[in-house]
Amino acid sequence: MNGGKRLRDSILFGLGLALMMAALYMVFIYVPTEKNAGIVQRIFYFHVPVAWVAFLAFFITFIFSILYLWKRVTKWDAIAHASAEIGVLFTTLVLITGPIWAKPAWGIWWTWDARLTTSLVLWLIYVAYLLVRSFATESARGARYGAVVGIVGFIDVPVVFIAVSLWRTQHPTAIIFEGGLTTPMLMTLVVCVVAFTVLYVLLTIQSANLKAMQANIERLRNIYLE
């Protein structure tokens, strides 16, 4: 890795760390407790940014899957793969923090609401993405299959969302935003979203670099050892 990249990663790391600290301070000390929802509402500042990163990650996978099939740059496949892994991780976090919040807020762990169900289906699609990559008989095939699933799966998201919203029409959305967001709440949310986005970029760069190096080693081994 050259100096420029190292500097960029250090800056990202420092920025991420500072933002994360600021986010923690704002969530636990700065922002006032929401009157109706109580203390548990503070998980909102974690849940929403995590969900945003999950969708962002799958969108990046979609874009880089198309680019990879088009131009066949190994690095782009590495980015798509890394982003999908992080997306699955963050969707898992969404599916864990959601029920933790839902139980005290709505009295139930789970409801087959459009958002929840779409997140669950999304998680299943991208777990399939990771499985098809690791089950492919060779890594070049895995990259192509992954790209195809990355495209086909992402296009499914709006269709799933529409179908599921019509399937179960009751929306608990209103409960979350009752009375709207006050300025401190909004500011805290924005800082949290930015902090998690920086974390996502940092993780994706690191993971994609690692994957690109692995692919390079495999290529060199194929050239010189066989």
Partner 1 sequence: MHGDRQVNKVFTRIFAIFWKDVLTELRTKEFVVSVLVFALLVLVIFSFAFGARTETTELVAPGILWVALTFGGVLGFNRIFAVEKENSRLEGLMLCPVDRAVIYWGKLAGSFTFMLVVAVVLTPIFLALFNLPLFLPRLALIIVLATLGFAAVGTLFSAVAINTRARDIMLPILFLPVVVPVIVAAVKATASVLADKPWSDMLTWLQIMIAFDIIYLVVATLVFEFVVEE
Residues found near partner 1 in the complex (CB under 8 A): 69, 121, 124-125, 127-128, 131-132, 135-137, 141, 144-145, 147-149, 151-153, 155-156, 159-160, 162-164, 166-167
Minimum separation from the CB atom of position 118 to partner 1 (A): 9
> How many Å apart are CA 143 and CA 131, to the nearest integer?
12
CA 201 to chain CA mean position, Å: 10
Minimum separation from the CB atom of position 222 to partner 1 (A): 16
Minimum separation from the CB atom of position 117 to partner 1 (A): 8
Nearest 10 degrees: CA dihedral of 56, 61, 62, 68?
Answer: 150
Nearest to partner 1 of 30, 145 (CB atom): 145
Nearest to partner 1 of 155, 175 (CB atom): 155
Q: Is residue 29 within a helix (H) or strand (E), and if so which, with residue range? A: none
Nearest to partner 1 of 22, 127 (CB atom): 127
- Per DSSP, 37 falls in state T
> How many Å apart are CA 130 and CA 115, to the nearest integer?
23
Count of Cβ atoms closer than 10 Å to residue 222 Cβ: 9
Judged on CB neighbours under 10 Å (0-12, 13-18, 19+), 17 is middle
Minimum separation from the CB atom of position 158 to partner 1 (A): 9
Nearest to partner 1 of 135, 177 (CB atom): 135
Minimum separation from the CB atom of position 62 to partner 1 (A): 12
Nearest to partner 1 of 1, 166 (CB atom): 166
Minimum separation from the CB atom of position 168 to partner 1 (A): 10
> How many Å apart are CA 201 and CA 169, to the nearest integer?
35
Nearest to partner 1 of 16, 153 (CB atom): 153
DSSP 59-97: HHHHHHHHHHHHH--HHHHHHHHHHHHHHHHHHHHHHHH
